Structure 1
Amino acid sequence: MSSVQDLVRQRDELARQQQELNQQIEAARRSERAGVIAQIKALMAEHGVTVAELGSSKPARGSAKASNPSGSKVAPKYRHPDSGETWSGRGLKPKWLQAEIAGGKSLDDFKI
């Protein structure tokens, strides 16, 4: 029968092995990632592609949050012909549009 001290030693040894394996896995991932990045850069250079042309809308993994935390801007879909006020069609209808619709106009009358 194993003593408590033997079990503690085994646990510590297994924890050490786990830590070593985790370090090896992370090193392999970094190495693989570096190779993939090199391939991507080579392909981009070969075909004259720039980072801007890739058009990624997501921030890179591990980078800061998106530059516009309140959400992205949406092009307006409706415009008041007199005041020039606009509405994207998202969220609550603005008061000017509610008033115009209550006055008998259609939402389609204000489409851009």
Structure 2
Amino acid sequence: MSSYEELLAQQAKLEKQIEEAKARECAAVIDEIKKKIAIFGITLDELGFSKKELSLRKSTAGKLRVRTRVAPKYRDPQTGVTWSGRGKPPKWIVDQDRASYLI
């Protein structure tokens, strides 16, 4: 019967082999997909991806990032347009007292 240390060594060796096999097979699949995209002229839109989504996916390095909407904090009484208070302020609130626009 194998000792615990021997089994751990075997496990580490198998995990390394699994990662290498996965990398080889993944590269082959990616090459095949690229060839099919080129042959059929498939676009990102047809695949259901936008360039913005792809850059977001790359920046999260494989982690799925879900964006949640922020509730509006300010409202323009004339137009009813709202703003969450994040990002660049809209023209209707620039240089204004924001307390008067609070929802």
What TM-score do you get using the length of structure 1 for normalisation? 0.46
Which is higher, the Rg of structure 1 or of structure 2?
1
What TM-score do you get using the length of structure 2 for normalisation? 0.50
